[in-house]
Structure 1
């Protein structure tokens, strides 16, 4: 029974990773596609490859997810712990599908964390609230602000530098540069988001004694998570791509390049320096708003931005509620 449950949890974790890929494909390539720097199919292939590569660059974020969100050591049995993880995944997947359907670029990262918190609270297990505040809540607030501000000021600088250049030649150069910035963004997405699935699978393996904390994340976990998010990315997220690429602001290649570059930098700093699981969605969306605001504030479609912001605020509690309800439904079989 325990072996079967581990297999189910791993399958659901990889399923979440797949939905994460197609839900967040727009994060890496929407700006490049909307400015015609890349064709949609070429952009998806590039993003899938870079997501796979990024997933293998580190495990710091995965360790945070596995060890600093919910305390499964307090579970009465390994069976109980696995059900908690399974409920968390169901909550995260449900919210991903809902926001994908409505074309809202919400955070798969926060959906997963919300699921873990909801299932942990419903089950009576301990939650590491201080770690959540330090590594989830504060980065959730600070990263978009940094992304917006940094993108705004760098874009102002870029516009000043190229102010006397021929527009057509400048546009061609930035369109070419967007290939590199989109690849950097996709690499950062794999670095951040694939690691969250690794962390959940590692959490399940730790709960049944199939892995030890000191041994680190097994290679097969890294490869399977990288493959799942790459497959999901290649499947594409066209609804959300339209929101990021067109509905927030009409982007040009220069603004697309700056937005992607700034977002990638924020992702790398959080992954390598802070070990914080930040949202790629929040980061790229705020950067797009930042470069858009350099035209004029009214150039940003703030009504669309408000709907996105509402989805951001609702993500953690909504995923937590779904996970808690699923746990309460399944709890009779645990007694």
Structure 2
């Protein structure tokens, strides 16, 4: 019981950090275009993250059962502790440097590394693990392409409606961003909060506290609350990187980016697939920005972000492996 309490606390700490780390991406476009003030945007996102997190559980079941079988694994509790510590450490490092890294990649990589350390390579469900990794890799490419197309469709619609003054167009899209930012925050909660739920369920099953991959209501409520509180805490470092250092975001491409990431995230959540909201949102911004003016994108910042994305899974796997060995000593 003591160990499961430690696991739940670590999972909630991870979700809290995820709230101010990843949710910053969800509201960066609306803050950048001044559709919402930072304070209002953060509180708005906190509420909708909580609602999104408490309504779904498909992703949680996938995370809890696809990477390894919690019903037949040795040292399952220690594995989860090592994975969560690893994910928390890497999230804090990337937050400190203002890098929009993926909490999803961090958690998936950490769980894989901890399983490898605690139960061996054969304990990893490579089919499920590889499926999740492929989806995580493809999602930013899809978000970029969809964002590029959506922006062109929006511009085409504006042309069909006739000549409109730029100030009026911007004013209308700022109003629309209030809705799109909320939808994006809801989608973030619906997908991202479930990953911590999945880890808790994995531990509950591995520790014989329950006999099925079901997410109890208390787990949903606790994870949703932790993410909501983390969002309320804010993440201005990440917001500045996403909203200012990639491209100057205008209301039109800000709305298009929000719409794109919402569609991609909701589709993945419907099929129970964990996505990186960081990758989806930033790729949508790059896609819509490329449609407006390719040369206006700060490709140096984009390159550094992509490098972080590439190294996150292997670093988190190695980190979790080392942490498991240290935890196991005690």
TM-score category, normalised to shorter length: over 0.9
Where do residues 107-118 of structure 1 align in structure 2 (5 Å cutoff)?
A: 107-118=102-113
Structure 2 residue corresponding to 1:96, chosen from 91, 98, 105: 91
TM-score by length of 1: 0.95
Shift in Å, 1:270: 0.5
Shift in Å, 1:105: 0.6
Shift in Å, 1:151: 0.8
- Provide the aligned C-alpha RMSD in A: 1.1
Where do residues 80-91 of structure 1 align in structure 2 (5 Å cutoff)?
A: 80-91=75-86
Alignment of 1:205 with 2:201, yes or no, is no
Aligned to 1:194: 193
Structure 2 residue corresponding to 1:29, chosen from 27, 30, 54: 27
Distance in 2 of aligned mates of 1:154 and 1:173: 17
Aligned to 1:40: 38
Shift in Å, 1:141: 2.1
Shift in Å, 1:210: 1.3
Number of residue equivalences: 325
Distance in 2 of aligned mates of 1:284 and 1:88: 25
Distance in 2 of aligned mates of 1:38 and 1:297: 26
**Runs of 4+ residues deviating >3 angstroms:** 72-76
Structure 2 unmatched ranges of 5 or more: none
Alignment of 1:178 with 2:177, yes or no, is yes
Where do residues 24-173 of structure 1 align in structure 2 (5 Å cutoff)?
A: 24-76=22-74, 80-125=75-120, 126-134=123-131, 136-163=132-159, 164-173=163-172
TM-score by length of 2: 0.96
1:295-317: CA deviations, max 9, x gaps? 22211111000000011011111
Shift in Å, 1:139: 1.3
Distance in 1 of aligned mates of 2:157 and 2:211: 53
Shift in Å, 1:118: 0.5
Distance in 1 of aligned mates of 2:293 and 2:263: 25
Where do residues 243-258 of structure 1 align in structure 2 (5 Å cutoff)?
A: 243-258=241-256
SS at the partner of 2:45? helix
Distance in 1 of aligned mates of 2:109 and 2:253: 33
Shift in Å, 1:9: 0.6
Structure 1 unmatched ranges of 5 or more: none
Contact 1:91/1:321 (CA < 8 Å) preserved in 2? no
1:109-135: CA deviations, max 9, x gaps? 11011110010011124111111222x
Shift in Å, 1:245: 0.4
Contact 1:89/1:115 (CA < 8 Å) preserved in 2? yes
Contact 1:25/1:241 (CA < 8 Å) preserved in 2? no
1:200-254: CA deviations, max 9, x gaps? 111111112212216x211100000000000001111111100100000000101
Shift in Å, 1:74: 3.7
Aligned to 2:7: 9
Distance in 2 of aligned mates of 1:207 and 1:124: 12
Contact 1:249/1:301 (CA < 8 Å) preserved in 2? yes
Where do residues 178-327 of structure 1 align in structure 2 (5 Å cutoff)?
A: 178-213=177-212, 216-273=214-271, 275-327=272-324
Shift in Å, 1:159: 1.6
